[in-house]
A and B are shown apart, each in its own frame.
Chain A
Amino acid sequence: MTDLVQLLVAGLATGAIYALVAVGFTLLWQTSQTINFAQGEFVMVPAFFVLAAMKFGGASFPVALLLGLIASLLVLGVLFKKLLVDPMIRHGVLPLVISTIALALFLKEGVKEFYAADAQPFPALWATTNITVVGAVIALQNLVIIGVAIAAIAALQWFLAATRTGRSMQATAQNPLLARILGIRVERMILYTFLINAGLVALASVLISPIYLAKFSNGETLGLVAFIAAIVGGFNQVRGAIAGGLLLGVLDNLVAAYVSTQYRGAIPLFLLIAVILFRPQGLLGRAEERSV
């Protein structure tokens, strides 16, 4: 029983990270038809911005965090949009997908060559203590991760639903043409989405790097699971991404503990195939209509 609680908490913590990453991914896709194959690397990079600020800039950890956040917003938000997405979106989806694949490679190799190839320890934002609940030892870190992720996503949901800008962003996602006609500044809304994504991945990066250790190859598995979480949960709903992320995190741990560790990576894949074939809108999504 304590084991189960252990696994559930660990699974929810990992799942919360997946959810953060998947939400950003879904937002980008919804508003600007950008399938960002570099999303995993986007989670890997902010930690290195922070580390670089500390190592080369001599900044203290809190200052480095701030610098890292600003760098992420600029590079992964503004530059990404202006240099990569805008020039390519007029050519269609496929060149953009290819570019994000190339971007992922670029970011990965860039960190490896210009920072370090081996894993780097990353300072934790809070004490690494454990608390005991029902006999299960739970790291405070895990609870904080779950808490912060939920808070961030709740804040995002509120922003999208309750503020004017948020509702404009939703309108842009649902029907850009109509939104433009209604006077919504579509370009700006799309920029906001990129900034939000950059913020979310930076948050995810800072949350997981103390545990995962910062390494250039972190993005590979994270990115893949984020896509799967987004699709399984429901590509056109933010809460779908949350559900998908949490589900995958918990399922992975349960399968590894009770079924097989050799094939634990297969479960998300089976789930993905099953969902796409039988319920393409995802578990929580709405069925999309296609215009002819």
Chain B
Amino acid sequence: MKFHIGTAAVSVLASAVWLGAASAQAQQTVNMPDVVELSGPGAVSGTNWRDGVTLAVDELNAKGGILGRKIVTTHSDTQSNPGISRAQVQKALDGDPYVILGPIFSGSVKVNMVLAQQAEVPQFTGAEAADITQAGNPYIFRTSFGQQASMPKIANYIRDGVKAKSVALVWVNNDFGKGGRDNFAREMAARGIKVTVDISTESGQVDFAADVVKVKSANADAVFVYTNEEESARFLREARKQGIRVPLIGETTLLNQKVIELAGDAANGVRGHVGLSADVPVAAIQAFKDKFIKRFNYSPDHNAIKGYTAVHAIRYVTEKIGKFDRKLLAKTLHGLTITPQMEPGILIETTWDDKGDIDRISFLAEVVDGKQRITQTLPKLGK
């Protein structure tokens, strides 16, 4: 028995020493840890984000870094679990970072941004839930539209472009899907469009026969699909197979290159709002896409753009204020507009408001012949 206690004791001691060992930071570097979903349901988004960040960091370091200091980024996995994300952010904060990058899943962000706020460290997140920027946190910054900005745009399109009076709603039962669904339902109600059926699906679901049957019998004018990439592809195939005729409408994910690749022909005819995408006909974004494919051998999605632009935005503001001052960074970014002329890495003109929300132009698109085609450019909301 004593050996068991002994074994345990030695283990605890060794672990304590290991954990306590602080890693010495060289003075000539700036620490920007990345905490993002690298496994679990968020793995695809997180991996894209991480690779976008890596591309940006390497580009900047090749030119000398920020204000002469090289950027050091470690990538930690939240496992798509808010509790773990909180621990990872705590660990990142322990290393005295300049800013924190990530995560993408809204549930995780809501939990760990409290820590970052307490430590007064700016956090650049890929999350889209509306309430993230409504909690009064002066250090949180988005890298893409919040659902409160994107949902009204898609709702307007459904009312004016598709002219639908009723809509069937299909969503994935995780915090991404549920948040989107709640926002969407609210926008529909505000415009007097009836949601005739509300179908929740599981993350990782493979069989959509029953869901499509339900959609068909709901007889709506349009179908709004808000699920993750693979599920979207499977749903589209089943919908095509069972002959759904009404327009299938989505928000960024549904028209994403990965979904088109997986769904094949079934993706043709899908329409929707695209906040950010690697397929829009903007030269800077196309150049980014080529660089990304060359380096990583796969096509980036909007999460890669989010990560990439975040790092460049941070560099721009830091060099603008001339020093590494977290509070000043946050203050300066509020209300700032960065154009590609000022900073090519921003790819597309972006404005941050005083809550950390983003304003950019966005696009309406349709999938034609296996490619995403922009049909309309929507202007920025503000200014």
Residues of A within 8 A of B258 (CB): 118
CA of A213 to CA of B204 in the docked complex: distance in angstroms? 11
Chain A, interface SS category: helix
Binary contact track A37-48/B, C-beta < 8 Å → 1, others 0: 000000000000
B137 at the interface (CB under 8 A from A): no
B residues in contact with A215, CB < 8 Å: 230
Contact with B along A110-131 (1 / 0, CB 8 A): 0010000111010000000010
A253 touches B233 (CB 8 A): no
Give the interface residue-count category, chain A: 20 to 34
Asked if A139 and B173 sit within 8 Å, CB to CB, the answer is no
Return the chain A residue nearest B40 by Cβ.
A217
- Is the Cβ of A212 less than 8 Å from the Cβ of B209? no
Count of A-B contacts judged by CB separation below 8 Å:
79
Whether the Cβ atoms of B211 and A256 lie closer than 8 Å is yes
Residue contact A121 to B210, C-beta cutoff 8 Å: no
Residues of A within 8 A of B73 (CB): none
Q: Residue A175 at the B interface, CB < 8 A?
A: no
Chain B nearest CB: distance from A17 CB in Å? 10
Q: How far is the CA of A118 from the CA of B47 in the complex (A)?
A: 10
List chain B residues, Cβ under 8 A from A139. Answer: 241
**Contact between chains at A6 and B243 (CB < 8 Å):** no
Contacts of B204 in A (CB 8 A): 217, 220-221
The residue from A10, A11, A121, A252 contacting B262, defined by CB atoms under 8 A apart: A121
Decide: B201 and A11 in contact? CB cutoff 8 A: no
Report Cα–Cα, A220/B41, bound state, in Å: 13
Q: Does A147 contact B (CB under 8 A)?
A: no
- Name the distance in Å between A129's Cβ and chain B's nearest Cβ: 10
Whether B241 contacts A256 by the Cβ 8 Å rule is no
The answer, among A7, A11, A117, A254, for a CB contact under 8 Å with B43, is A117
CA distance A211 to B237 in the complex (A): 9
B84 close to A (CB within 8 Å): no
- Residue of A with least CB distance to B233: A213
Residues on A with beta carbons closer than 8 Å to the beta carbon of B233: 119, 213
Known contacts A117-B47, A137-B242, A221-B204: does B229 contact A6 (CB below 8 Å)?
Answer: no
Q: How far apart sit A256 and B204, CA to CA, in the bound complex (Å)?
A: 15
Which B184-208 residues sit within 8 Å CB-CB of chain A?
Answer: 199-202, 204, 206-207
Could you tell me if A3 and B217 are in contact, using CB atoms closer than 8 angstroms? yes
Measured between alpha carbons, how far is A256 from B201 in the docked complex, in Å?
Answer: 10
The answer on a CB contact under 8 Å between B262 and A253 is no
User: Closest Cβ of chain B: how far from A121's Cβ, in Å?
Assistant: 6
Question: Is the CB of B79 closer than 8 A to any CB of chain A?
Answer: no
B228 shortest CB reach to chain A, Å: 10
Given contacts A112-B39, A261-B201, contact A6 B44 (CB under 8 A): no
- Inter-subunit contact A3/B211 (CB<8 Å): no
Residues of B within 8 Å of A130, CB to CB, are: 241
A14 contact set on B, CB distance < 8 A: 207
* Docked complex Cα distance between A14 and B241 (Å): 16
C-alpha spacing A118/B298, complex, angstroms:
11
A10 proximity list for chain B (CB < 8 A): 207, 209-210
Which of chain A's residues have a CB closer than 8 A to the CB of B209?
6-7, 10-11, 253
- A213 cross-chain contacts in B, Cβ below 8 A: 230, 233-234, 262
Q: Which residues from A are CB-within-8-Å of B210? A: 7, 10, 252-257, 261, 264
Quick check: B243 and A261 within 8 Å, CB to CB?
Answer: no
> Hey, which chain B residues are within 8 Å of A291, CB to CB?
none
> How far apart sit A215 and B258, CA to CA, in the bound complex (Å)?
14
Closest Cβ of chain A: how far from B92's Cβ, in Å?
A: 22
In the complex, whether A265 has a CB less than 8 A from a CB of chain B is yes
A218 to B234, CA, bound (A): 13
Q: Who on chain A is nearest to B170 by CB? A: A261
CB-based nearest A residue for B201: A261
Chosen A-B contacts, 25 in total, with CB atoms closer than 8 Å, are A3-B216, A10-B209, A14-B207, A112-B39, A117-B39, A117-B44, A117-B47, A118-B43, A118-B47, A119-B262, A121-B261, A121-B264, A130-B241, A212-B206, A213-B262, A217-B204, A221-B204, A252-B207, A252-B210, A253-B209, A253-B210, A261-B201, A261-B210, A261-B211, A264-B210
**Chain B: residues with CB nearer than 8 A to chain A?**
39, 43-44, 47, 173, 199-202, 204, 206-207, 209-211, 213-214, 216-217, 229-230, 233-234, 237, 241-243, 258, 261-262, 264
Taking Cβ atoms with an 8 Å cutoff, the residues of A that contact B are 3, 6-7, 10-11, 14, 112, 117-119, 121, 130, 137, 139, 208, 211-213, 215, 217-218, 220-221, 252-257, 261-262, 264-265
**Additional pairs, 15, CB under 8 Å, beyond known A3-B217, A7-B209, A7-B210:** A6-B213, A117-B43, A117-B44, A119-B230, A119-B233, A211-B206, A211-B237, A221-B206, A252-B207, A253-B207, A261-B200, A261-B201, A261-B210, A261-B211, A264-B210
